[in-house]
Amino acid sequence: MSIPRPWAIALWPLSMVYGFAATVRVRMYKRGWLKQRRLNRPVISVGNVTVGGTGKTPMVIWLAERLLARGKRVAILSRGYHGSTGTSDEIELMKERLEGRVVFGVGRDRFGEGVRLEAASAVDVFILDDGFQHLQLARDVDIVLIDASREFRDEMLLPAGLLREPRSALARADAIVYTRMSQSPEAGGTIARIRGTRKYPLFTSETRLLGFRRNGSAGKRRTHEEIGEGPFFAFCGIGNPEAFFLDLKRWGLVIAGRRAFRDHHKYTAAEAGKIEDAARLSGAVAIVTTEKDSHNFVGSTFARMPVYICDISFDVIDEKEFFSIVVSKIGEHQGAMM
């Protein structure tokens, strides 16, 4: 998603107002004029400073799995898309991958959800999904993700650009994780320059393909060789669709055509038919999409062509150093030692 330059110029005055309001809001919380509420157990926030996908959901899953491996009882707090139905495509994806090993609190009032979970079940640590701007809830650790495949330096504030807050907001972060490094060779130099200032603890991450699952099948994951040479038709409705298409190329899939939808798009039966028609016209023999999209196949069938879902894993490089920061930030919180 990008804002056309003429529109960005026209909206720039509104961005200045937005940025001023965002800065004032942060200062009001910092000075105690607006009160944060604190849960009894430590809170680790995962968020970003831009609109659109940066890999928050894979990061939350990775973090939860690492905490579970350390014997921690984990709860995830999330607003969910629209924050009213108690679930979302991202929530369902996390539930599927974490297989009932964590509890979820979903809704606009994440403090209230946290209190409910503390009363209902034993919780050692909370993960606050998309929480960097949710200042109403106090947190012990702020992890911020930056998508290395997008140019961050020259980005403008909403509504002229994609920034939720001024870049100076990164000073609040306890750790910054650059995602999609493989899609931006130039990002390494940027990170090296930022590390040279010693201002932010910076980490990089990588996304790996685990395999492909046939939609509607409970079978095991298949390899690239097992699903065939293609060509394939790709579609997705995620925050950064271009990142998915670039990943497919990096994984060696031959893509005959592609289509992007809005983030969280729910696919009807009619749209499934149109996607299959487009795939046939492109010469594709099968269709590929994301795990997140598979949870939005509401009323869709994809009966005429096989659809393969790409399962991925997320890994933070220098995991030991990363967790040393997490432990040091929450170590004084009662019962939070890892």
One-letter amino acid identity for 212?
Answer: F
Neighbours of 230 (CB within 10 A): 18
Q: List beta partners, residue 50.
A: 163
Where do the structural domains in the chain lie, given as residue ranges?
5-206+316-330, 208-312
Fold of 5-206+316-330: Rossmann fold (3.40.50)
Strand 175-179's sheet: what is its strand order? 103-106, 74-78, 125-129, 43-48, 141-147, 175-179, 202-214, 307-316, 286-290, 232-236, 255-260
Residue 243 has pLDDT above 70, yes or no: yes
Residues 163, 156: contact at Cβ < 8 Å?
yes
Judge whether residue 129 has pLDDT over 90. Answer: yes
Angle between helices 89-98 and 56-69 (to 10 degrees): 30
What's the pLDDT at 184?
Answer: 62
CB 206 within 8 A of CB 315: yes
Single-letter residue type at 241: P
**What's the confidence (pLDDT) of residue 305?**
94
Q: What is the mean pLDDT of residues 306-334?
A: 89
Distance of CA 300 to the CA centre of its chain: 25
User: What pTM value is reported for the model?
Assistant: 0.91
- Three-state secondary-structure class, residue 223: coil
Residues, the chain: 338
Most confident of 115-129, 177-191, 195-209: 115-129
Q: What is the pLDDT of residue 338?
A: 47
Please tell me the predicted confidence (pLDDT) of residue 335.
47
Q: What is residue 150's predicted lDDT score, i.e. its pLDDT?
A: 77
20-69 pLDDT, tens per residue? 999 999 999 999 999 999 999 999 999 999 988 889 999 999 999 999 99
Q: If you average pLDDT over every residue of the chain, what do you get?
A: 89
For residue 204, pLDDT beyond 60 = yes
**Beta-carbon-side half-sphere exposure of residue 124 (alpha carbons within 13 Å):** 16
Segment 256-293, tens digit of pLDDT: 999 999 999 999 999 999 999 999 999 999 999 999 99
